[in-house]
Structure 1
Amino acid sequence: MRTRHIVGAVIAALSVPVAVALPAQSHGYISTPPSRAALCAAGTVQNCGAIQWEPQSVEGPKGFPSRGPADGAICAGGNSRFAELDDPRGGGWPTTAVSAGQRLTFTWKFTARHATTGFKYYLTKAGYDATQKVTRANLEPTPFLNVPYNGTQVPSTLSHTATLPSGRTGHQVVVAVWEIADTGNAFYSCTDVRF
């Protein structure tokens, strides 16, 4: 009897690190051009907290921009566990060089293939100050790319190509929103670019 309790305790103790190491829910993020979550996961950006192990977990309420995460918490999807993604780091997030009118492809990596309403891509307004957190006031209210998905399940990777708007210079942020069809949530991914 005592041996059975010891064996049970050992198995329970060994299973805790495994359960803690695996994310409770896995989903998706933009891998190229690298999003803030991807940069943290790759170790390109340090001091990222939990997002370095869970780049696919930036989940928050859907309905952006009328609903969704609060201003200043958009890049983390309103999830305080990933608040490092909202820190502008003094404008120091690594950027991908782009130009107005350029065709740019965004590639999502999915770890859970949800039924999807669609994808929307927003860009910060001309004159955006990259030392400030992303808010609705410094984003264009209309997405520069809107990809309906009509409840279809996503594959393990998916790319969207968009023509980047004109009238931008310097450091800007793309906010991509992946809306899930059968839950009240969406996934948020911020990518820093330099025009």
Structure 2
Amino acid sequence: MKQIWKKHRVSLTAAGLVVCLTAAFGAGIVYSRSQAEKDVVKAAEKEVQKDAGEDELPRTNVPWEDDTLYKDILSDSYRDIGSEVCRKFGADYETVTMNEVTAEMRSFEEALILRKDMGANPLLEKNEDKNAIEKDNGYSSATMSLETYMNDVYAFGGGRTVIKEICGKYGIDPDTAVISALTAEQLEEIGASAYDASDHPKD
């Protein structure tokens, strides 16, 4: 898997950023269903599958239409997250379609995925494991801090300020805490503040 990630880093990063943005992480971001975004994800998946084989990688977010089932855009490893999202918002996980999924649902989903995939990672960039990052020739979900993630998603440099502000509000030490120390709601609050503070296009 590490070799696949290294070989297709550009494609996967492009697809990942589209997924992050369309997930509407942070209140106020309206996720888009443009064909361009679908094509980026689809192209990235095809490039990876060409050498890896479809069975070697779990299904991740895939191109979708209004009548696509929400459960069908999630990797198998995120089934529990999809179910939790639907429970919180009173939706039926087995039948809810993408035209019924709200920006708030995708925001909560993204926060849960951060806790699941990056829960052991530090909040601040200065506490990242630089040796591990160098060994892997770049970031992975096991080494990226919340600060770096926010800065990448919102294309700005204010992640540290936002994280410290929200952590201070809840009495959390950002220098020692890891991502899983934050609740999904606190992560959503950080995302919303990062969005507001960035130059990300606003509606």
More strand by share: 1
Task: Specify if TM > 0.5.
Answer: no
More helix by share: 2
- In the superposition, the TM-score normalised over structure 2's length comes to 0.29
- In the superposition, the TM-score normalised over structure 1's length comes to 0.30
| Higher normalized contact order (CA 8 Å, seq sep 6+, divided by chain length) | 1
